[in-house]
Structure 1
């Protein structure tokens, strides 16, 4: 799946540098896929691709739709939209949603989604919309999805981390009640929790590493008897709480109830290499890759 996402990166770079000998096609042809269509944003950049798998196999998808991450200034602006929870009102989201809906209408729901970094946020946003509007659940693979929040996971002391997370959860619950803010209703949460995407993060990646703490803390809160507070805090963000009422809907893309979380514990002593390794797409097909996997299902939280 990561190689198909890399194919989108390669196509955009082929286009940007006007390469005569395209370097992108081996990334999908090596796995038996054919390029069905490129997804183009309004600035003419290639943001995604629809791949088709021509063979008929029960366990294989008919199509995989992959989205790349940040490459240019426009992408950086979209990253900022994630922080203020309005990404679902961007052209990137609209283009991706339209493409996914069209392929489903024409070819059926045997479609998988995949994305890296910003592209993972695109996949989450599209998947949520399909669930809400069509009750359609697509298998989804998210590589280094952004989790915009205070980075607590880097703290070495487990006790300190638990205390900070507990205080933040309690603060969220109190502010939500006092300010009259509404978190996700139980029915919507129940519907969304049936979607269990595959989430891949690196323990050293500042952009996505907080997913590990997000899911693990929810279970710890339940074990401490604070399950209700943990559930409230996991369905609303501080940005939503402090935002003034504007009449516009807010959707924190990073908040997902369930996931199959895989953590790459690989580290590097060089800060520059560390970021390239921890947030890069290439780590996910590296030789000798060792992942720590755990499934988190919201329905398991009573």
Structure 2
């Protein structure tokens, strides 16, 4: 049976980053565009499957071929047989070429987000709900993707691997990254429109939102002091110390309420630091993250958005609607206009007797 034709946004030659005729792997904008395109490659693999597009009719391969990658294998969910992820390999690392591009990844693990189509909507929305409830670690997709990442780490180590995802795929990827940290390693990560666990951004009153953030920090710190003591200090192998060394790249759009909470989250922490209350937030976050990573996640699931550090990029271009604000295409737009800021929180400033490498 002949497959259904693809929309313009699925076809690389019509909507892909054709302006990247030569990739500079030291250029942050190029790296962002490549990572987003490889996630799009996962989306189109699944759409090709759903629409029965094969061979010359399929549209997925240009999304990685253009950047000199090859598909090692798709990640398939056995529950609905959908393609939710992919493992790509840089062809330069499989050839005999002695001039492999510096800083280019040898492998990329990419995970897509929700697809609102009959073949995928049921399970995808169920996983979205698991994300809200902090239960993604129980899902088959997370477990399969985690195994895939571990197998690639065994082959290439973590210094030549990228982890990337969009929306629900960002949530799964972020959880994977946190689990990799527990082994003492960090992995380069690009997360597009990652869901923010706490829906504070629904509130329109800025003063009220700011008050909620401050109150939350004070309550967490107060509870930690009451239950664990004021002078408790993390050790070198403390989960928070390990996680502090990881600086994933987060890409958010202020018009996308699913991910925009990250803007206020890091801005709140920045303001606390400016007024001299940064220790309160670091202490609260350390106890929140430390308790969740050092105990069973089934007993103490912690919102995924809790991160000590991140390199946050905000798209400052106006989005006409939610679909554009949450979409993946914005991240390789040749006219991209955004602002990036490093939010790095070192616990050495709170506990100066603890040595912590800055791994940028």
Shorter-chain TM-score tier: 0.7 to 0.9
Following superposition, the deviation at residue 57 of structure 1 comes to 2.2
Name the counterpart of 1:253: 304
Following superposition, the deviation at residue 66 of structure 1 comes to 0.4
Q: 1:71-121: CA deviations, max 9, x gaps?
A: 222121112112222211221111001001111212333111110001111
Asked if the contact 1:204/1:265 (under 8 Å) is kept, the reply is no
Secondary structure of the residue that 1:200 maps to in structure 2? strand
Name the counterpart of 1:290: 337
| TM-score (structure 2 length as normaliser) | 0.74
Q: How does 1:257-272 map to 2 (within 5 A)?
A: 257-268=308-319
Matched, 1:126 2:163: no
Q: Unpaired segments of 5 or more residues in structure 1?
A: none
Name the counterpart of 1:111: 161
Following superposition, the deviation at residue 160 of structure 1 comes to 4.8
From 114, 122, 137, the counterpart of 1:88: 137
CA–CA distance in 2 between the matches of 1:156 and 1:31? Answer: 44
Asked if the contact 2:90/2:106 (under 8 Å) is kept, the reply is yes
Q: Unpaired segments of 5 or more residues in structure 2?
A: 1-34, 93-99, 116-120, 351-360
Following superposition, the deviation at residue 266 of structure 1 comes to 2.3
| TM-score (structure 1 length as normaliser) | 0.87
CA–CA distance in 1 between the matches of 2:224 and 2:256? Answer: 29
Structure 1, 51-60 or 63-72: larger mean CA deviation: 51-60
**In structure 2, do the counterparts of structure 1 residues 12 and 236 end up closer, same or farther at CA, with 3 Å as the change threshold?**
farther
**In structure 2, do the counterparts of structure 1 residues 148 and 246 end up closer, same or farther at CA, with 3 Å as the change threshold?**
closer
Name the counterpart of 1:168: 216
Name the counterpart of 2:102: 58
User: Larger Rg: 1 or 2?
Assistant: 2
**In structure 2, do the counterparts of structure 1 residues 285 and 199 end up closer, same or farther at CA, with 3 Å as the change threshold?**
same
Asked if the contact 1:203/1:266 (under 8 Å) is kept, the reply is no
Following superposition, the deviation at residue 140 of structure 1 comes to 0.3
From 10, 13, 18, the counterpart of 2:52: 18
Asked if the contact 2:201/2:257 (under 8 Å) is kept, the reply is no
From 82, 98, 106, the counterpart of 2:147: 98
Q: How does 1:132-147 map to 2 (within 5 A)?
A: 132-133=182-183, 135-147=184-196
Secondary structure of the residue that 2:346 maps to in structure 1? helix
From 204, 207, 210, the counterpart of 2:255: 204
Secondary structure of the residue that 1:298 maps to in structure 2? coil
Matched, 1:39 2:72: no
CA–CA distance in 2 between the matches of 1:128 and 1:48? Answer: 18
Asked if the contact 1:153/1:213 (under 8 Å) is kept, the reply is no
Q: 1:137-170: CA deviations, max 9, x gaps?
A: 110000000002133487464x554333212322
CA–CA distance in 2 between the matches of 1:295 and 1:246? Answer: 28
Alignment RMSD, CA only?
Answer: 2.8
Asked if the contact 2:186/2:246 (under 8 Å) is kept, the reply is yes
Asked if the contact 1:153/1:161 (under 8 Å) is kept, the reply is no
**In structure 2, do the counterparts of structure 1 residues 89 and 247 end up closer, same or farther at CA, with 3 Å as the change threshold?**
closer
